[in-house]
Amino acid sequence: MIKVITYGTFDLLHYGHINLLKRAKELGDYLIVALSTNEFNLVKGKKCYFSYEQRKKLLEAIRYVDLVIPEENWEQKINDILQLKVDIFVMGNDWKNKFNYLNDYCKVVYLERTPEISTSKIKFDLKLDEK
């Protein structure tokens, strides 16, 4: 069994997220999503609309996702990979080369993002509609 892991906030879930999760799952047999907690998102300078538990439920409802675990800090990736016996680490290509150090533990793959959509774009567009 080939295990794949990806990390993210997945707030305001949209079709770009679904595309990424589908392509990540196609790389293996079992997809793990490490979902950033609200506390960790604050460290990253992000504020979520939905709580961790709400975002977790949304991800668990997606057929490509087999397991959702909490992401609580930047440093946990190596431990997650080792403990969960992960074969492939996947991130969007906006993070290209930032996680190459993980190649010592598993294969690292950067996937193209869906160019026309992002959570930041949705938030920006919604603010424009308020005016």
- The per-residue pLDDT for range 46-77, each reduced to its tens digit, is 888 899 999 999 999 999 999 999 999 999 99
Instruction: Please report the pLDDT score of residue 128 as a whole number.
Output: 66
Which residue of the set 3, 25, 46, 123 is catalytic?
A: 46
Instruction: Please report the pLDDT score of residue 129 as a whole number.
Output: 61
The answer on pLDDT for 120 being more than 90 is no
Instruction: Please report the pLDDT score of residue 12 as a whole number.
Output: 84
- For residues 100 and 98, what is the distance between their CA atoms, to the nearest angstrom? 6
- Establish whether 46 is a catalytic residue: yes
At residue 100 the predicted structure's pLDDT band, cuts being 50, 70 and 90, is: very high
Predicted TM-score (pTM) of the model is 0.90
Which residue of the set 22, 25, 44, 131 is catalytic?
A: 44
- Establish whether 121 is a catalytic residue: no
Alpha carbon distances (Å) from 102 to 72, 91, 110, 113: 18, 12, 12, 20
For 45, residues 6+ apart whose C-beta sits below 8 A from its C-beta are none
